[in-house]
């Protein structure tokens, strides 16, 4: 796979619709050609302690951020016709579906591939298959784990090696 979009969401709370940041990395012909990162006003708009500790984001960071539809309008032309790749794609696809639903947007049935599943299949010897562990085995130095753009870049690097 040489043409795809690596995507990562961070959520403010336990609801998948509460996306508070998005990272998108566009890969064409096996090379990263574009990156996109944005904070998003989450719905529902509150942060759990765990989310703030993990991502470093708080209510104040995203209270005046654009809504998901505003952000998606910027992303949509960049990703047209490309499949998605995510580490634990069921989470990221679930977030995308949930936020489309909460804003009553028509979901276009995007195709998702999963680097977590690929790693479990192709690297069974690993002690775990967390993003940071798998990234390291693919010679990618993930410095800012749980930042949506950093995680999307790590996912892109993994996909280029494993998919």
Q: End-to-end CA distance of the chain: give it in Å, rounded.
A: 6
Instruction: Give the pLDDT confidence of 134-146 residue by residue, as tens digits.
Output: 999 999 999 878 8
DSSP state of 23: E
- 14 to 10, 42, 51, 84, 110: CA distances (angstroms): 11, 11, 9, 23, 23
- pTM equals 0.94
Question: What average pLDDT score do residues 68-96 get?
Answer: 97
Instruction: Give the pLDDT confidence of 49-68 residue by residue, as tens digits.
Output: 988 888 889 999 999 999 99
| Distance of alpha carbon 70 from alpha carbon 120, whole angstroms | 36
Which pLDDT score is estimated for 76? 96
Q: What percent of the chain has pLDDT over 70?
A: 100
Instruction: Give the pLDDT confidence of 34-45 residue by residue, as tens digits.
Output: 999 999 999 999
Which pLDDT score is estimated for 54? 85
Domain positions in the chain: 4-162
Which pLDDT score is estimated for 144? 79
The sign of the CA dihedral 76, 5, 150, 113 is: positive
Give the CATH superfamily of 4-162: Ribonuclease H-like superfamily/Ribonuclease H (3.30.420.10)
The sign of the CA dihedral 88, 89, 94, 100 is: positive
Residue 45's contacts (CB-CB under 8 Å, 6 or more residues apart) are: 12, 18, 59, 62, 63
**Pick from 42, 41, 10: which is nearest to 23 by CA?**
10
């Amino acid at each position: 796979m040489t043409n795809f979009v690596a995507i990562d969401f961070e959520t403010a709370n336990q609801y998948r619709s509460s996306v508070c940041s998005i990272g998108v990395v566009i890969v064409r012909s096996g090379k990263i050609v574009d990156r996109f990162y944005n904070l998003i006003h989450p719905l529902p708009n509150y942060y759990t302690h765990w989310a703030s500790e993990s991502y470093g984001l708080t209510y104040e960071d995203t209270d005046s951020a654009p809504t998901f539809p505003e952000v998606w309008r910027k992303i949509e032309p960049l990703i047209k016709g490309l499949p998605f790749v995510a580490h634990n794609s069921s989470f990221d696809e679930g977030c995308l579906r949930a936020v489309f639903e909460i804003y009553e947007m028509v979901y276009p049935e995007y195709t998702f591939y999963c680097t977590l599943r690929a790693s479990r299949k192709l690297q069974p010897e690993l002690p775990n298959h967390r993003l940071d562990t798998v990234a390291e085995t693919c010679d990618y130095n993930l410095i800012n784990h749980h930042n949506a753009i950093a995680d999307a870049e790590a996912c892109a690097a993994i996909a280029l090696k494993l998919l």
